[in-house]
Amino acid sequence: MTDSVITDNTGEESEADEAKRALDEKVYGLCICLMSDAIVFALLLAIFMVMSHNPTDGPGGQPLSVRLPQTVAQTVLLLASSATFAVAGVAIAARQRGRTLAWLSATFLLGLGFIAIEISQLYGMAAANAGPSRSGLLSAFFTVVGAHGTHVSIGLLWIVLLVGEVALRGLNPFAVSRLSRLGLFWHFLVIVWISIVSIVDLPEILEHAGSAANG
């Protein structure tokens, strides 16, 4: 009888260990994916920096200066979405399904606003003859910003799928694990965006501030 109980307990622990190991492997796989993405974005930003000093076949940074107000709005929205996702993480830890869904929905709306501004901005630049074919600099700009926007769109789709799963099945261990990986992905995108703003827009902001001070 005792041996039977021990065997059953060992079997349950073994299944739990296997489940935990599987979840850990998924987190590890996502981390490798994010590191690969970080390398890609670093290379794209390096190309942009090179092209910003050598605009051989078109204008320099002037066409990018018109996007500063929109960039500020995008940054505010993305930082706010990071905060709402953090609050959703607290609700997830407390197993509060209603609050989790509410904060995830808020994160989705903020991210959707970010994408809407980006699409409007890129379309406006292309319509004003400042598209990616105008110069190597603008081509690099459209590539890095477009790559980030694509990642954000993937994150938005991921949020929709997980909101549906949580609404239907609740905060089961698998949903919680997927939400934690989505959190890593989303916060990574915020860090990448700050890097993009620092390299692409910050020089323009400092230049304008210097011009205003001298004027």
CA 184/CA 190 separation, integer angstroms: 10
pLDDT tens by residue, the chain, 215 residues: 444 444 444 454 565 566 566 666 777 888 899 999 999 999 999 999 888 776 555 555 555 656 778 888 999 999 999 999 999 999 999 999 999 999 999 999 999 999 999 999 999 888 888 888 888 888 999 999 999 999 999 999 999 999 999 999 999 888 898 999 999 999 999 999 999 999 988 766 666 555 555 65
Cβ–Cβ < 8 Å for 141, 71: no
pLDDT, residue 190, reads: 96
Neighbours of 25 (CB within 10 A): 10
Tokens 């930082």, located at residue = 79
Burial of 16 (0-12, 13-18, 19+ CB in 10 A): exposed
Residue 63: its H or E element = helix 62-65
- Choosing among 1.20.1740.10, 3.90.230.10, 1.20.120.80, 3.10.310.30, the CATH entry for 2-214 is 1.20.120.80
Predicted pLDDT of residue 6:
44
Q: What is the pLDDT of residue 1?
A: 47
Return the residue matching tokens 């990986």: 181
**Domain range summary for the chain, segments of one domain joined by +:** 2-214
CA distances in angstroms from 141 to 26, 64, 113, 130, 137, listed in the order given: 32, 9, 20, 11, 6
Give the pLDDT score at 137: 85
Q: DSSP states of 137-163 as a string? A: HHHHHHHHHHHHHHHHHHHHHHHHHHH
pTM: 0.83
